[in-house]
Amino acid sequence: MVKESREGDETEDSEECPKHAKFLWQPFLRQLYVCTVCTSIYFVLGLCFGAPTVLIPQLKKEANLTGKVTMTDDMASWLSSVLGYSSMPWVIILPILTQYIGRKIPFLIVTVLTIVSFIVFYCSTSALHILISEILQGVTLASNMTVLIVIIVEYSSPRYRGVFMMIESSIFFWGVWIANLTGTFSHWRNIAIIAFVCCLYSLTAVIMPESPSWLAMNGRFEECAKAHHWLKGYDKDSEEELESLIKSQKEYLRKCASRAKSTSWYKLRIIKETVTAKGFHQPLLLSMAVMSLYHFSGKLVCSMYAVVLITQITANESAAYTGMLILDAVTILGMQVGCVLSKLINRRTLLLSSSALGITFLFTISLYLYLIHLKVIVENNIISIVLLTSFSVAITCGPMIMPSTIFGELIFLRYKSSSLLILTLFSEMLMATVLKLSPLISETFTLPGSFLFYGISSSIFAFILYKYLPETKDKTLQEIENYFKESHEMEEDAAKAFINEKPDNYDTQKC
């Protein structure tokens, strides 16, 4: 029935194709609009992460002037890490909403709640009030890997998807830098005004259509075609992508309909099939390795505790604020370089080469600080800042901007909700724990030992990705799915061939 209606549409569209060919820029601009709506929330999330870096010193100074103890070290560590823990409930809620009611409505819910959280932030008069506002901002962090990534991946064409995903990662650090810049030269409350303006722009998402992938997954193929044409136009590549999407989802729905769904045993069997399917756990495990590389690189810790870290290295607080802004600016520069390189180099090559370079700088900084500690060399502020900025550029070109791109492409459409739920829980818990424990790691291992710890940890995950991560650049989501399916089928064929071709004297007991 849908096929007949599509054939009818194709006869009409064949006459209109020349008309649409004149406006090939329209699909790009529409996809760019959707991207900017999402990246404005990423920018706000960067403001959330950057705010504690500058507001904690300001609150401590205010406490010293008034004589009131309102900012303890424990409270400061909670202000830097509570976002991860407060996102946990939303990590469960948002994937459920995106599964059953679509992508657009959950995004609007996130935007409204983010506005409320920054109203509380602006009206805060103590560290406790700020802590409450950051707990409310947990929904913003949870949307990072649940709603926002899904929208950018599903709404964009393969040719633009990689760049859009790189942009959202760099926009996050633009938010961190703007928050640090604002808090350095003005009162920290002004950060809330910037966030409020960005959220108002995100509310314009009410005009964009629902995700074509979600509509196809729910059997609404005519609406899917309409949304897909609005977003991606009528060119040959777009039509082939639409045809492949509808065909694969029809086949999947047909398989689901052919099974009996009445018993609880059936549901348990479906869960078992999902968990054991290589198309589920292979992309998920690779995505977890990418996120682990992201957090164990130590870059996020350096950004959150930039003032404290640079003060420890240089023993100069005024230089620490200058170094923080330089470090953030270089981080953004590295991300822009990474975005350019992503169009020239394969994703896998860029991720692994930049990771190797960043890990080399981690070991170099550790050795440098150890030599200073042993009084073999004299500490030099310029060398310290150069080493930190070099590390930042290397890490931001790959591991900091590519995780969302890679796992957004790797995870199968049919497993997206469950996979993103697990991955987001893992990532947010890991991030919050690393940020919470980083002062303890620094105290236990000393500063040189901390860099050595991050260097060894990130090396392990970089090696895992070198061994197992496939290339995804310029491939449709269906082509990436087919890669995992084909690799699984090749393994099965190889196993069957091995069994069939074993020699007569083959000792099965010995094997």
The top-level CATH class assigned to 30-208+270-480 is mainly alpha
Q: Which residues contact 242 (CB under 8 A, 6 or more apart)?
A: 212, 224, 225, 228, 229, 232
Whether the pTM exceeds 0.75: the reply is: no
Q: How far apart are CA 388 and CA 320, in angstroms?
A: 12
Quote the pLDDT of residue 76.
76
User: Could you say which residues of the chain have pLDDT below 50?
Assistant: 1-23, 491-492, 494-496, 498-499, 502-511
Quote the pLDDT of residue 510.
39
Quote the pLDDT of residue 323.
75
Spell out a b/e string for 347-381, using b for 16 or more CB atoms within 10 Å of the CB, else e: bbebbbebbebbbebbeebbebbbebeeeeeeeee
Quote the pLDDT of residue 9.
44
Task: Output the DSSP codes for 260-305.
Answer: ---SHHHHHHHHHHHHH-HHHHHHHHHHHHHHHHHHHTSHHHHHHT
Quote the pLDDT of residue 384.
79
Quote the pLDDT of residue 490.
52
Q: How far apart are CA 318 and CA 310, in angstroms?
A: 10
Q: Which residues contact 405 (CB under 8 A, 6 or more apart)?
A: 161, 162, 165, 166, 169, 342, 347
Token pair, residue 269, equals 């069997």
Quote the pLDDT of residue 311.
74
- Model pLDDT for residues 82-138, shown as the tens digit of each residue: 888 888 889 889 888 988 898 999 999 999 999 999 999 999 888 888 999 999 999
Quote the pLDDT of residue 203.
93
Quote the pLDDT of residue 345.
83
Quote the pLDDT of residue 266.
59
Task: Break the chain into its structural domains and give their ranges.
Answer: 30-208+270-480, 209-259
Q: How far apart are CA 447 and CA 73, in angstroms?
A: 18
Quote the pLDDT of residue 270.
62
Q: How far apart are CA 451 and CA 364, in angstroms?
A: 9
How does the average pLDDT of the chain come out, rounded?
Answer: 79
Beta strands in 2-80 (DSSP E): none
Question: Could you report how far apart the first and last alpha carbons of the chain are, in Å?
Answer: 55
